[in-house]
Amino acid sequence: MNHPHQTGETPFEVHSTDLGPDYSLIIPRTFGLSADRIDRIVSHISRMTDREVDRLHAHTNELFAHRHYDVDALFRARADLVEQIRPGATRWDDTRRELLGSCFIMEYSIAAAALFNPSICLTATAGKAVLSLRAVGEGHISSVLFRSARVADDATLTVSPAATKLSTGTVSGDMASGDYEVRFDSSVPLEGRVLFPQSPNERAGLEDVRLVTFYHDPEPDLGNAGGASPQRLPAIYGTVTGYDGETAVPKMFVTEDFQTFNVFSLHGTAARNKDMGLFPCKVGGRYAMVGRQDGHRMTFMHSDSIDRWDSAEPLREPRLDWEIMQIGGCGSPIEVEEGWLLPMHGVGPFRRYSIGFYLLDRNDPSRVIAATPKPVLEPQDDERDGYVPNVVYTCGATIYNDTI
């Protein structure tokens, strides 16, 4: 059901798409890999007969095989971790090794606490979009989920249901630096792919992805004496905040198919804090972002390198009653005829979050040329309560058929 709502002078429609906590969204996680526990479990399994091993292995598969992709491979991977701690401890057949591995794995409900802060990007297929969502589980650990969506002519969304099984993919790379690749098998649908914290600088969470379709500069066309080809090649970037338990760490990923993700940390004196939103193309020949380094004011950032940011100019300070505490971006700027439309949030008394928009100058996006004087969206009485009370928030927006 849709119904009109009005805040100030701005009409909009509220749609009844509800995305909330979901205990059924589970992933496998390593559990209890201490040397003492390994020694005790290895000793116990070594005393079991083959029949006892077969029976417990079969029972474990019966309980969990339908809830995860290839549980035997998961068990073998955990047995390999055991070998790293206690080399030579598991010179057994596959069934016995898999049983050992199953003792060092647990299920984790990634969205048991909350599922919120969506972002969106349109795909190359007309009427199709991809949503990213922040999932929060036990211990306030955040991860990233995805949903596909159909976009109707009137810009209403029909969001796909959750997957019945999830995968965290195959991870490789330099974990110490925070740079790595996550690759998902093609058999795992988009809704089943999870970006879960992998490196030390994000061990407490990956928060608030802001998706944007980025159009790179055209490659030179060697067959064209006039120079560059007119085609601009898009990729999907996502700015994301890593959290190590103490510090917010700006990060980014890039993907072309939502199947392989290259995740990397951002560096430089301006790569601090959170709320960074990448422009969908270079501005004046340089990469550009909006950010917030000091926790309350917004900045305009630019760089020659996508992973290093040393320049941040003041963009705007809190001015209005509903943004008196702080302001920040709510996604990437959107290119419109009048300039760059930037979704933003303001925080007022009692930590009440509302959403508005800034219009940035097309040629000089460090200038705000217009701003909504009142919130476009603010918490209503029937939506004030939740995991974070008194908040309406988004991590991105797009325009479809002249509708945001």
Q: Report residue 108 as tokens.
A: 């984790």
- Number of Cβ within 10 Å of residue 173's Cβ equals 16
Is residue 147 within 8 A of residue 395, CB to CB? The reply is no
> 3-class SS at 137?
coil
Q: Mind listing the pLDDT tens digit for each residue in 294-326?
A: 989 999 999 999 999 999 999 999 999 999 999
Gap between the Cα atoms of 42 and 229, Å rounded: 62
**Are 221 and 300 contained in the same domain?**
yes
Residue that finishes a domain, picked among 49, 72, 103: 103
**Are 120 and 43 contained in the same domain?**
no
Gap between the Cα atoms of 198 and 355, Å rounded: 32
**Are 161 and 218 contained in the same domain?**
yes
Q: Is residue 41 part of a domain?
A: yes
**Are 68 and 159 contained in the same domain?**
no
Please, is 169 exposed, middle or buried when counting C-beta atoms within 10 Å of its C-beta (0-12, 13-18, 19+)?
buried
**Are 120 and 92 contained in the same domain?**
no
Q: Mind listing the pLDDT tens digit for each residue in 180-237?
A: 999 999 999 999 999 999 999 999 999 999 999 999 875 444 333 334 444 555 899 9
**Are 219 and 269 contained in the same domain?**
yes
Q: Check residue 18 and give its pLDDT.
A: 83
Beta-ladder partners of 278? 289
Q: Mind listing the pLDDT tens digit for each residue in 226-279?
A: 344 445 558 999 999 999 999 999 999 999 999 999 999 999 999 999 999 999
Predicted confidence band at 91 (pLDDT cuts at 50, 70, 90)? confident
- Half-sphere CA count of 278, side-chain side, radius 13 A: 34
Gap between the Cα atoms of 10 and 282, Å rounded: 31
Q: Mind listing the pLDDT tens digit for each residue in 13-52?
A: 777 788 899 999 999 999 989 999 999 999 999 999 999 9
CATH of the domain at 134: 2.115.10.20
> 3-class SS at 204?
coil
Q: Is residue 221 part of a domain?
A: yes
Domain count, the chain: 2
Sequence letter at residue 353: Y
Which whole number is the average pLDDT over 81-109? 92
Gap between the Cα atoms of 388 and 381, Å rounded: 14
Residue 356 has pLDDT above 50, yes or no: yes
Sequence letter at residue 240: V
Q: Is residue 86 part of a domain?
A: yes
Virtual torsion, Cα 388, 276, 238, 306, nearest 10 deg: -160
Q: Is residue 394 part of a domain?
A: no
Q: Is residue 336 part of a domain?
A: yes
**Are 163 and 93 contained in the same domain?**
no
Q: What is the mean pLDDT of the chain?
A: 92
**Are 204 and 285 contained in the same domain?**
yes
Residue that finishes a domain, picked among 79, 103, 127: 103
In this prediction the pTM is 0.92
Is residue 277 within 8 A of residue 287, CB to CB? The reply is no
The residue range of the domain holding 150 is: 3-24+110-383
**Are 132 and 56 contained in the same domain?**
no
Nearest to 207 by CA among 142, 110, 262, 117: 142
Is residue 145 within 8 A of residue 132, CB to CB? The reply is yes
Nearest to 311 by CA among 338, 283, 330, 339: 283
Q: Is residue 147 part of a domain?
A: yes
**Are 217 and 292 contained in the same domain?**
yes
- Number of Cβ within 10 Å of residue 256's Cβ equals 12
Which whole number is the average pLDDT over 117-139? 95
Predicted confidence band at 11 (pLDDT cuts at 50, 70, 90)? low
**Are 245 and 274 contained in the same domain?**
yes
**Are 184 and 234 contained in the same domain?**
yes
Residue 103 has pLDDT above 80, yes or no: yes
- Number of Cβ within 10 Å of residue 51's Cβ equals 8
Q: Is residue 395 part of a domain?
A: no
Residue that finishes a domain, picked among 58, 86, 103: 103
Q: Report residue 51 as tokens.
A: 């029949």
Beta-ladder partners of 215? 234
Q: Is residue 398 part of a domain?
A: no
